[in-house]
Structure 1
Amino acid sequence: MGSYISEPPLPLPPPNPDLIAPLPPKDVLLSLRTGKVRPLGGVKILSGINKQARQGPVQLAKAGLAGDERQFPPHRSPDNALFQYDPRHYAYWRSALPPGRAHLCKVGAFGENLSMAHLSEDNVCVGDTFRLGPDALVQVTMPRQPCFKLNHRFEYRPMSRLTQSTGYTGWYYRVLEEGCIQEGDEMVLVERLNPAWSIARMQHFTYTEPDNMRACAEIVRLTGLSQLFLDLFQKRLSTGGGVEDMGGRLNGDTAVLWRSYRLVQKKPLTQRVQKFVFAAEEDPVDDLDDADDLQFGRFPHVRLKFGRPGDDGDAQYTRAYSVVAGDMRSFELGIAKDDHSRGGSLFLHDEFAVGDVLKVAKGHSAPRSTTKGGSSVQEPPQAGIRKHVFVVGGIGVTAFIGEIRALAAAAEGGEVAGSATAAEVEVHYAVRSRREAAYLSLLPPERTTVYAKSDGQRLDVEKVIPPLPKDALHPDVMVYCCGPTPLLEACRERCERLGYPRSHTHFEEFGGAATGTGDPFEAEIKSTGRQLQVPREKSLLQVLNEAGFEIEASCNVGNCGTCMVDYCRGEVVHKGVALDEEQKRDTMLSCVSRGKGRVVIDC
């Protein structure tokens, strides 16, 4: 996942590099990894950091390994052809990072291509030339400069700065002679040009003593140094010790923060639904650039991490729930005890008690509310809409309570999108029985029809979703649906048959709707042309991993975004809540979303 928590960095001293680096022993390639540029889980940031292990020979060219991609243009330089990271550092990260991050601290987490047992920042020098395998010859060019994407990768705001301060950064190579390499190949030092300039010592004068002009003068004369570092130190010399701003590289943009919330109220609403009210442990306004970010937008939801930590220290469950009311200081959720629960709703209902604490991140939402007169109000609905039809089943009602109430209030006032004519609002609410109609009291009674299965009543989407006028230049009906899979599929099919544009439908997934199973389809891998059949009973994620792609995943129910893959052609039925509308244009959640017929993906 690509969001992070906000604890302060650990105060660690920089390394104390030796003046003359020790010679490294002959080493063996333990892991060889390549990866595609993909969004980091849950956020709109592209990165090539997610790399998978490669078996068998892989061609190493001047530009890098076959099949390996780098998103940031400067990283595509021949000076960045290969990245190596010392796997012994992961033991430190598992102990140093906050709880719940241990599962992230494993080989490959820093996006390394090469992993070996003995090479480290202390015994590798700038300009060192190594024979890698029988044919390839590579040369060390520079330390890695940690960037903000590590903050997202490890879900920890100070990670890039902490990586820089510890010196556990890894280093880059250029390729002098091309060849094929594979796991098990030997790595042997052939030539050492700069024995006084280990990677650790380079880091010391890059970050700890950046204004040491004597060191800068030596560094710019190093044979084999990358062009990036040569330019950096020449600029420091020309400015008399002026040091570049590192904030943009280390901080980047701001992603979703995981904050601690305490359960302050838990109350049964029906036999299956309970009301949960959470309050922030610390005022979230301290982390916000804009006070309006305290408010939720339309169709809001939050992501929760909770449950007993596993062996890796991570929370047992990650789930997303619609927000009934409130803001980021305190909010209410209505959570049903799912008959087919994977454990999340059972834990919250049966074990999570008032006073317990969990982690919460603000989820995606439609355009957010605006502030007028110091209070938050909903954005006005689309202009020209004559009727809003809500089709909800069970706990799916929570997805639209705020929208229904705002529209009903606007209709009562006769003002919708600046028009003097009030739009109609219809709510069609399917439940097992009227006693299980949670939040019915919050819905406008004169606009709400309840369909109770216990009374023999059935919600027929053919009757409640109206056809569009044939002579209408612009559709004037908006359809909203949230509920179990059969209800969602029936609504989608009805809207598609009637010609509703996507801009005039809004579907929310929950519970059994996000299982990853469904109609069979075919997925073609763009880079290889390989075709994979995804049967009805398996998710795309399962099929990809069975085929050896090693796609990372976390929640497996469409909440976290870790399993995103790119899709290039074809039609995708998106499920889950981790992607916003922009991300859905070219990515899909492999754990729950499915193609129609045939899709082309890249991973």
Structure 2
Amino acid sequence: MSLAPSPPPLSTPWTTATLLQIRTSKMQPMQGLTTTTGIYKQPQHGRIFCGPEGFENDEHDLTFHGGPDKAVHQYFPGHYPNWQSEFPDHDGNFEVGGFGENLVAKGTGGGGEMNERNVCIGDVVGIGGEVVLQVSLPRQPCFKLNHRFGLKGFAPNTWRLSRTGWDYRVLKTGWVSPGDEITLAERKHPAWTIERIQEYLHRNTGDLEKLEELAAVPEFGRECKRGFAWLIERIHEKAKAKTKVKEPEVFTSWTVVEKKKETTRITKFVLQCDAHDDEGAGIPPGGFVRLRLPNGLLRSYSIVHGTRNRLTLGIARDAQSRGGSTYLHDHINLASKLDVGAINPSIPMVESASNHVFIAGGIGITAFLGHCNLMKSINYSFTLHLAVRSEADIPFQGALEGLGPRVRVYRGDQGERLDARDILGGRSWNSMTYVCGPERLVSAVQAAAEALSLADEEIYYEAFGARVGGDPFAVSVKGQGEKKVEVGETESLLEALRGGGWSVDSSCEVGNCGTCKVRVCGGSTGEVEHRGSGLTKGEKAEGELLSCVSRGRMGAHLVLEW
């Protein structure tokens, strides 16, 4: 649906306002989720004490809310009628208090209203002659707003339309009551309204001069300071990338400091960088690492957890091994050396989802343990479904036990069956699903998703092994004359292209990341056999394919570009 444009900036600044409501709440579960929240605030009566971290008896999810920089939240009540008109099917949810605000106020004395167009960062306001607050941050919306109002993807509309509200830090504690006067005591940065800050934090994120100016404002809370620093760093990185010559992948020496059997098939390897420092930067969950083995093979493996100095991997002995897993199990031992290359992101966490469903088979659990541990620590709603052959085949049991009742294990020898259709059909509203396992599991989930009409963006597939072989076929490259390369039954298209002298980027090489994608051009003959999970249906329809796993069928001649 199309939202109404923001009204023009107000020309009348606010000078005084009346405090209409003070709202507080205890933490409680969000409807249909394991996540708890303090968004359901109710109006309070009489005098209420405001301490250094907010109002008495008001609780916050301290992962993202609350604390000294977010002690008190205010929202302009005049926004609610606009939301009601723009989302008429949900207008009953858009009532005062819906955004979890502590303060509801109305302008007085002929001045303007307190809203994002005339409240500035660093503003110092007094309430009732006792409490003194300072504007510290624009509100940064999260998935809880989507769930609160029952609208997928709603949260970004708040900053697009400059209706986010703002947070305060407490400069002076004291007692306040509904009916107290709010006064503007000091304005340090009149040019930087909450609306204008959101412009450079979310919309015009490439203006280096403005971002550096904002980063120098001392009154910002840490959340915005980190945001501006990240945007500035990204601009500099993009500028370097434009002039930087592509460099070959760098491998460094690491030592195996632990090798331990998790199951009869799965072994845990802990690697430590030989040139490590004491700490080592953390790495996002859901990533994978490239290893160059002593026998010359290059392989990618999911990271269970770790830092830039120390990594824990779980590797299964594959009955159809192409040489990587067998070599690691049989020849790599304590104190062995391995060359470690790029540490790459893989599984994206969809932050706008209200709930996250992980479906794994056997060793596929290694792709998800990092995400699950993170989600538990930040109060996100999730469930993990793991299919194994037997109790003895459950890897990383200690880590799974730490996740508690969110984990459901299906043991094949006990007649327990992971029913993909039942799991997908029973998801809570606005769920994101992630799948990693053998081809049989992935195919079952894909069939269930299609039967239930799940959109592509609601489910993510991750393979942990590459099926490379298939029919022989031929390829040539657009604009490269008559040069043609034959792709044999046991080699991948990626290997054949490189063997023919062409350079194609790659990363995971099992069909997950999409780095190695190429495009099939006009002049091609024969059919394409798509494999892997790194492309959407739309990308495949446009002629793209993953050269690490996809290939032509018997007799095909594919003309490619990339």
Give the TM bin, normalised by the shorter chain: 0.3 to 0.5
TM-score, structure 1 normalization = 0.43
After TM superposition, the score normalised by the length of structure 2 is 0.46
Pick 1 or 2: higher relative contact order, CA cutoff 8 A, min separation 6. 1
